[in-house]
Amino acid sequence: MRTGATGIIFRREFQAYVRSPMGYIVAAVVLLLDGLLFYSTALGPDAGELLSGEVLRVFFYFASGLTSIAAVALSVRLIAEERQTGTQLLLDTSPIRDWEIVLGKFLSALAFLSVITLATLYMPLLILVNGKIAVGHILIGYLGLILLGGAVLSIGVFATALTRHQLVAVAVAAVITGVMFLLWQLSQIVGSPLSRVFAALAIHGRHFNGFMAGLLHLRDVVYYVALTYFFLFAATRVMEAKRWE
């Protein structure tokens, strides 16, 4: 019964992405920019100086930024829109639990983001056909993109649970995500032990470098899963608090 409730929310939200212009706009922008960046890297004037593995690493570097931006754009409407349209009241008075609402909405956004991400697969395959790279490098890189996208989505879900205004949710999600990206740069300029703390908390840099290089480290997977859980748990608590306001 409980799984069914999450499934209903998932199908409802996924269909909303498919039917709304917003989903297609985000997909089109991500695919266009990914294609342009890939072309400039793999086929541009300096492409001959790069090895195939380096081209793939650069591709995943650019794709990680676009995936993060897409995750923020896809997530901020999930709960804030419900409050703006008044449909949140129906969810609050239904027997569906708050964690089921949060999980269903998160999984729908993750599924749609994964579809967009996997639609770029032909680009690394072009490198595979024309260069020397391992299939495992491609698979690990895409796993990293989906884990990173899921973590940023959870931040967006938390932000959209805080407010009924989507622009405010965008700002909050962008600030949190931006700070977590900047932690890696800060870790390079501050002294120990802050440098180690910032590096461990940074959403990019140390934790995504392995995925870009085709190296799978358990600590990086655990980090992204733990970060996703933390913000989804926080979003659930916010939902519970607002239910009784």
Is residue 233 very low, low, confident or very high in pLDDT (cuts 50, 70, 90)?
very high
pLDDT at 80: 62
Query: In the predicted model, is pLDDT for residue 90 greater than 50?
Result: no
Query: In the predicted model, is pLDDT for residue 229 greater than 90?
Result: yes
Residues 6+ apart with CB under 8 A from 56: 124, 127, 133, 137, 138, 141, 214
- Rg, Å, the chain Cα set: 19
- CA 148 to CA 206: how far, in whole Å? 12
- CA 119 to CA 133: how far, in whole Å? 19
Map tokens 């940074």 to a residue.
Answer: 202
Query: In the predicted model, is pLDDT for residue 21 greater than 90?
Result: no
Neighbours of 179 (CB within 10 A): 13
The lowest-confidence range among 3-17, 24-38, 72-86 is: 72-86
Query: In the predicted model, is pLDDT for residue 178 greater than 90?
Result: yes
Q: What is the DSSP letter of 191?
A: P
- CA 75 to CA 152: how far, in whole Å? 9
CA distances 31 to 46, 124, 135, 157, 175, Å, are: 22, 13, 21, 23, 24
CA distances 20 to 13, 17, 23, 24, Å, are: 10, 5, 6, 7
For residue range 137-172, list pLDDT tens digits in order: 899 999 999 999 999 999 999 998 888 788 888 899
Percent with pLDDT over 90 in the chain: 35
Map tokens 């796993």 to a residue.
Answer: 143
For residue range 106-139, list pLDDT tens digits in order: 999 999 999 999 998 888 888 777 767 788 889 9
- CA 134 to CA 10: how far, in whole Å? 35
**Tell me, what amino acid is at 127?**
I
* Angle formed at CA 148 by CA 106 and CA 104, multiple of 5 degrees: 10
* Angle formed at CA 120 by CA 200 and CA 59, multiple of 5 degrees: 50
For residue range 26-71, list pLDDT tens digits in order: 899 999 998 888 887 766 555 544 566 788 888 899 999 999 999 9
Q: Which tops the pLDDT comparison, 152 or 77?
A: 152
Residues 6+ apart with CB under 8 A from 102: 157, 161, 232, 235, 236, 239
Query: In the predicted model, is pLDDT for residue 215 greater than 80?
Result: yes
Mean pLDDT of the chain: 83
Contacts 24+ apart (CB under 8 A), 40-48: 42/123, 42/126, 42/127
pLDDT at 1: 39
pTM, entire model: 0.87
Q: Which tops the pLDDT comparison, 226 or 10?
A: 226
Mean pLDDT of 182-207: 86
Q: Which tops the pLDDT comparison, 2 or 178?
A: 178
- CA 198 to CA 214: how far, in whole Å? 23
Query: In the predicted model, is pLDDT for residue 245 greater than 60?
Result: no
* Angle formed at CA 201 by CA 62 and CA 225, multiple of 5 degrees: 75
